[in-house]
Amino acid sequence: MPLSKVNYANTIIYRIFSDNCDYVYVGSTTNFVARKAQHKQCCTLETNKSYNLKV
């Protein structure tokens, strides 16, 4: 199955930070809505393999 072409003109660079620590995560994506949902799921769903993964 061929991969779909990625339109890099839609790339968004974002950062995630917390008031609780000094770490900052910087990422990029072409689909921010889906990526934000993935980040939230990693923080809230205990069965996710990335739950409580240190950034």
Q: Phi and psi for 52 in degrees, rounded to 5?
A: 60, 25
pLDDT tens for residues 6-54?
A: 889 999 999 998 888 888 999 999 999 999 998 888 888 888 887 776 6
Which pLDDT band, with edges at 50, 70 and 90, does 55 fall under? low
Residue 54's pLDDT is 64
Please state, in angstroms and rounded to a whole number, the distance separating the CA atoms of residues 24 and 3. Answer: 31
Residue 43's pLDDT is 80
Beta-strand ranges (E) seen in the chain are: 12-17, 24-29
Residue 29's pLDDT is 95
Residue 11's pLDDT is 96
